[in-house]
Structure 1
């Protein structure tokens, strides 16, 4: 069977890998000039670094399993430290143990000085979906939401807790039940003697090296610079039109997997799955920028980085001390920091030029960690429409998409727009999409 995969991000490449290893012919089409989507590496200050996502969730098997399957097991590396802080109330304070911001160690929380007021109230979990903000505020207080949950959730979605869906964006909080603080404290106490497994993993040279390894091992034909303009049924199969307007090419396939962001997917599905297209057209995205700073000399930095609560109104939303966090970066002899800028609905900062972005980031870092030496090099990576916003009702939206797509035989969708934005979740979603597709086609 010949399958066309639209999109060469990690979702599309995983789908191609899964199809290829099961013996199918695959062509991957992407309008960009490179593969990998938001998994991208590049050289800054003579060091190859991630310019997008830098780690995978190691407690889930999917991403690590893919890394091992494509021959990169010897490049896996866990962080030297995951000891993060929260820059708030005039200092970088140690982030206490939490479940996505809900405190699980009240003594550590008190010692951190991050929160003055924490409650532990039991309020029945509603049957319908609500925002993370509504759920946490009623049971742990607004300060816990603003200074702990909000920055942690923002690090994942670059969104706002008062808009994000509890059931889609924070199911681990939902699982804590009516009294999440008491449940989180009890769970930590019960697990105190259990061995601690690494939470995250990265790759020497950066997670941005993974897409090429997947593409190479998939056996798929991968075409970049091939924007897909039309997906339509043709007899028992599918017809796609791709390429520049003046040189459109027809691609025929027995099945199609669309692994593009929601706006592009909505356009492509408008005729073949209109209900899915309508649902996806309403999915908002947050745009962000990552500013990488490389110092020629050593500069002492404690911990893996820090988060910033939006209530503190800083320009920088979070920072990672890459040369402290990753041994392979430290081995370069350079000091490397990454700072993120931008949240959902906050585009003004991203309209600044690269130079001003860097200057403002450096000014914030000087306040947080002290004045840095003059950088040897800097890099600004803008990710427009980077992170889908799983707002209240997101699971209903996904159900509508899946139902509509299922009505078109030989069609599947996958990507960060559906079941999770992390690499492991996206890989799992692509694997599930391929399974559904092959089960439907009896292959």
Structure 2
């Protein structure tokens, strides 16, 4: 009996939609299944009362996002629709915000670092720039520092470099525990994307590419896949009491989810899936009757709150500074990001408890928050971003060399690049593997006269 589909894609995040679009353009019959009621995954946006709320990812860079910009060009998205943020990143220290984090000008202003720490930062930056060619985005396991965690790297330098730069950057952007996550991956990302002064965001929300891709695809939302089984050159997808067969299935979901869905993975797949642990994340959106900003920091769009200063929050995003269209005129929008150590206690707590804990912490930096905070929304991510541990790096080469089978994968965790660029690259790679396998199967059948 013929399969129901050429390809079933599980997950309508940017990786799954990229793969599905590539395969549809190649002439295959593709259907995408998404358990949520919307597309975008961790690049989703919500719209309420004139506010545009990015529930997951926040920004992209003109550097280090080659595949993403190529995808946007194909979708007809212009640079005007991905404007430069143009506001600084600040860090809190000694009772005030210091601008210039991840920006060369921070070496002059200090950006919260002591003079000795700035010298050590220059020393590290000079070493990293000399070795830049050795940090391969597509093969992070081959990069220098592959055996080291962020904390181990920081141990060679002044403590400020960890406490007021590496930890807050890793903790806020990725939710990482620096004692677990890879120094090679973090260094490679910092080298690739450059200073924060060039970073951009999507004018109409971070879900812009997902919405555009989904418009041309067969996407079924609100359907949770329960199991995927590889079976003699095809695969079966179980959704409740229904079963669908496909020539190929792509699991475009976080690694822990893929591990739970795939009933019979290859050994090299199972080993890598087990090593690809994920962080959790918790965010609270605050809809404000007036814009707020921390004093004396040049109206940053992001304020990092290091663990050395705050155990409840990792950052505050000023969305109305990130892009004025995120909030109605004369209004404000904040995103409060929970510290990684706080998330486990709050992830399944009632919304009111999460809001109270994070807004209370935020008033330290924004004393008038309570007077203008009109509504709050909680966003939970049980699988936020790959931790990219040294253990995962060591297992990646074997995973990437695995045979081409009826069940394959896409996601930022495949590239061990916790960003939309990693997801887009992984989606394109998965599509090419599917096309290669299916064409090979067709050629073999033709040669046999089938």
Q: TM-score w.r.t. structure 2 length?
A: 0.81
- After superposition, the C-alpha distances for 1:144-200 in whole angstroms (9 at most, x for unaligned) are 111111111122220122221122343257x79xxxxxxxxxxx9xxxxxxx99733
Q: Corresponding residue for 1:192?
A: none
Q: Corresponding residue for 2:108?
A: 107
Q: Corresponding residue for 2:414?
A: 418
Q: Within 1, Cα distance between the matches of 2:329 and 2:210?
A: 23
What is the CA distance between 1:427 and its match in structure 2? Answer: 0.6
Q: Within 2, Cα distance between the matches of 1:56 and 1:14?
A: 17
Q: Superposed, which structure 2 residues align to 1:36-435 within 5 Å?
A: 36-59=40-63, 60-73=65-78, 76-97=81-102, 106-109=107-110, 112-115=111-114, 117-118=116-117, 120=120, 129-138=147-156, 140-171=157-188, 199-217=198-216, 220-241=217-238, 243-244=239-240, 248-299=241-292, 302-329=299-326, 332-343=329-340, 346-372=343-369, 373-403=371-401, 406-419=402-415, 420-435=417-432
User: Which residue, 6, 30, 35 being the options, matches 1:31?
Assistant: 35
**SS of 2:312 mapped into structure 1:** coil
- After superposition, the Cα gap between the structure-2 partners of 1:391 and 1:236, relative to the gap in structure 1 and judged at 3 Å, is closer
Q: Within 1, Cα distance between the matches of 2:373 and 2:26?
A: 48
Q: Within 2, Cα distance between the matches of 1:268 and 1:432?
A: 21
Q: Is the 8 A contact 1:158 1:344 kept in 2?
A: no
C-alpha RMSD of matched pairs (Å)? 3.0
Q: TM-score w.r.t. structure 1 length?
A: 0.83
- With 203-212 and 10-19 compared, the bigger mean Cα shift is at 203-212
- After superposition, the Cα gap between the structure-2 partners of 1:94 and 1:169, relative to the gap in structure 1 and judged at 3 Å, is closer
Q: Is the 8 A contact 2:10 2:32 kept in 1?
A: yes
Give aligned pairs, total. 409
What is the CA distance between 1:133 and its match in structure 2? Answer: 1.8
Q: Within 1, Cα distance between the matches of 2:196 and 2:322?
A: 17
User: Is residue 30 of structure 2 the alignment partner of residue 12 of structure 1?
Assistant: no
Q: Is the 8 A contact 1:240 1:251 kept in 2?
A: yes
Q: Within 2, Cα distance between the matches of 1:353 and 1:326?
A: 30
Q: Is the 8 A contact 2:102 2:196 kept in 1?
A: no
What is the CA distance between 1:104 and its match in structure 2? Answer: 8.0
What is the CA distance between 1:320 and its match in structure 2? Answer: 0.9
Gaps of 5+ in 1: 177-187, 189-195
- With 343-352 and 373-382 compared, the bigger mean Cα shift is at 343-352
